[in-house]
Structure 1
Amino acid sequence: MMFDPFGDFDTNGYLQNSLRLKDPLEVKESEHLAFEASLEDALAYLAKRKSIDYKAVLKTHEILFSGFYHWAGKDRSELVPHLAVFKGSKDDPRHTIFERPDLIRRSVEYALELAANKKRFRERPGEVMGQLAFAHPFLDGNGRTILLIYMELCYRTRFAIDWSNTNKDDYLRALSDEIQNPFEGHLDNYLKPYLLDISSRDEWPEMIGGIKGLDGLDKEGITYDNLDNPEVQQLYKTYRSQRID
């Protein structure tokens, strides 16, 4: 079953997309065409920003996906403030829980604070990516939006990740471990061998195009439930206590 937080999949297609598409492959292809058509505009926007803040994250998503989603640039707290979002079934011990809608902005801003400490960021590049991924600001397009934000943050610290040589499955496994148990080095250890010095953004479009599995990673296995559900509240309570410990 497709992700349907608006409850109108039968009439408006997947997430009310502009073409009202329902077929997963057609959605994936059309969405990625919108992303590719807007990629250079998004990169140019980020390059001109004096600082990267939460508004810049929202605007980047809007630039990338407004050709396919009318709600592009709006986060989950605005669109579905009553829903919790997971990857995998919440009954599965290996599920990934994403940030509560009302705390998304705070989580993103915390990631940006981590990136502002340039020495720490270069030494622990996985912490920032893990925090951004945990925030999961949008109903769709998170992976690609966060990737661009992360690349810009890295550039401002004068390094890059050689994404074309990473392995999709290994990366996602490390990312999932980082979200579940942050600040323990899971994603730092995976990314460090791919860290490069960088002095120019010129190669970015080609670099991004070479990333394997970029077209729609965050549609796979997404589920949701109501925040009022006591079981969901307990999941968040348990997760918070684990992050603090």
Structure 2
Amino acid sequence: MRRRVWFIFSVLGISAIMAWQAMTSETQSQPVTVGLVDMQKLLANYQAFKQDEEQYQQTIMRRRKMLEVRVLLEQKEWDEIDALEQKEAEGKLTDPERKRLDELRKLSEQRLTELQHLQLKEGKTEEERKRLEYLLNLQNSNREKLQRLMQKFEEELAKLNEILTKRHRDRIGEASKQIAQQLGLKLVLIADEELLLYAEPSLDVTDKILEVLNSSK
């Protein structure tokens, strides 16, 4: 999410510089007062953004784990874990159900370890060959379902990322506007090293914008 927000504000920064050039060419007799923002510093110290980014990364990890624990589940086990995870999300799990959910979440890992052991073992018994065939068939039969589930998760994460990006883009924009009005600034730009050749340190308003952002509830 950090890279996405940075990209959006970089684009906005380029647009703002073009607007600044237009303003200065039209009103050369009137100085244009400008504030600069160190976006890297702002994002690193913007508390609400950091909290949302951490939660977003945790969501990614949870989705990844949900895929991993289903790799070697039978359909009835898949359905069971779906139902139990839904109850878990609603805070309605009983102790026996929580124990069963933990068992199901460990099952794929246990079967994967067994599968790998059987693949490496020489001189398999007939029973072991049948067990290996069962596990391989189970793994293959789940691939399409896992692909669909992964696509669903990716769509959910993309939507969440879009919501969070807009939320913080709007908040940073409003905070920048507030500081600009307080200081009488015409423009607030991103201090992009690739675009900015020189700027006096006194033009930096990053800390002032952070004060507004971090004081908001």
**TM over 0.5, yes or no?**
no
- Name the TM-score class by shorter chain: under 0.3
1 or 2, which has the higher helix percentage? Answer: 2
Q: TM-score, normalised by structure 2?
A: 0.22
For the pair shown, which has the larger CA radius of gyration, 1 or 2? 2
Q: TM-score, normalised by structure 1?
A: 0.20
Q: Relative CO higher for 1 or 2, CA cutoff 8 Å, sep ≥ 6?
A: 2
